[in-house]
Structure 1
Amino acid sequence: MKLPVTEHTGRPWRIHAHTPDFTVEDVWSFRMPGAGPDDFPRALAAITAGAGLDHQSGPTRLLFAIRWKLGALLGWDEPKAGLGPRVHSLRDRMPADLTATAPRTPGPGPFAPLYELPDECARELANKTVHAVMHLGWVPTPTGDHELRMAVLVKPNGRFGRLYMALIAPFRYLVVYPALTRQWEAAWRDRERLPKQ
Structure 2
Amino acid sequence: MKLPKTAHTGRPWRIHEIAPDFRVEDVWAFRTPGAGPDDFPAMLDALRAAGGLAGEQPPLVRFLFAVRWRLGALFGWDGSEAGLDGRVRSLCDRLPDDLRGPQVGAEVPNTPFTTVYELRDECANELANKTVHTIMHLGWVPADSGGYELRMAALVKSNGLFGRLYMAGIAPFRYLVIYPALTRKWERAWRDHRPPHRQA
Scaled by the length of structure 1, the TM-score of the pair is 0.96
Q: Cα deviation per residue 1:79-138 (whole Å; 9 max; x = unaligned)?
A: 110001111001111112203162422121100000110000000000000000000000
Q: What amino acid is the match of 2:18?
A: H
What aligned pairs does 1:86-125 form with structure 2 within 5 A after superposition? Answer: 86-100=87-101, 102-108=103-109, 109-125=111-127
Q: Which residue pairs with 2:80 in the alignment?
A: 79
Q: What amino acid is the match of 2:47?
A: I
Contact 2:92–2:104 under 8 Å retained in 1: no
- The alpha carbon displacement at 1:144 in A equals 2.5
Tell me the C-alpha RMSD between the 2 structures: 1.4
Q: What amino acid is the match of 1:75?
A: G
What SS is found at the alignment partner of 1:55? Answer: coil
What aligned pairs does 1:133-152 form with structure 2 within 5 A after superposition? Answer: 133-152=135-154
Q: Which residue pairs with 1:28 in the alignment?
A: 28
Q: Cα deviation per residue 1:42-84 (whole Å; 9 max; x = unaligned)?
A: 0011011112533111111110000000000000000110001
Q: Which residue pairs with 1:154 in the alignment?
A: 156
Q: Which residue pairs with 1:62 in the alignment?
A: 63
Inter-partner Cα distance in structure 2 for 1:188 and 1:134: 19
Inter-partner Cα distance in structure 2 for 1:176 and 1:27: 13
Q: What fraction of aligned residue pairs are identical, expressed as a percent?
A: 64
Number of corresponding residues: 196
- The alpha carbon displacement at 1:181 in A equals 0.1
Inter-partner Cα distance in structure 2 for 1:149 and 1:83: 25
Inter-partner Cα distance in structure 1 for 2:60 and 2:133: 25
Q: Which residue pairs with 1:185 in the alignment?
A: 187
Q: What amino acid is the match of 1:144?
A: G
- The alpha carbon displacement at 1:196 in A equals 5.5
Scaled by the length of structure 2, the TM-score of the pair is 0.94
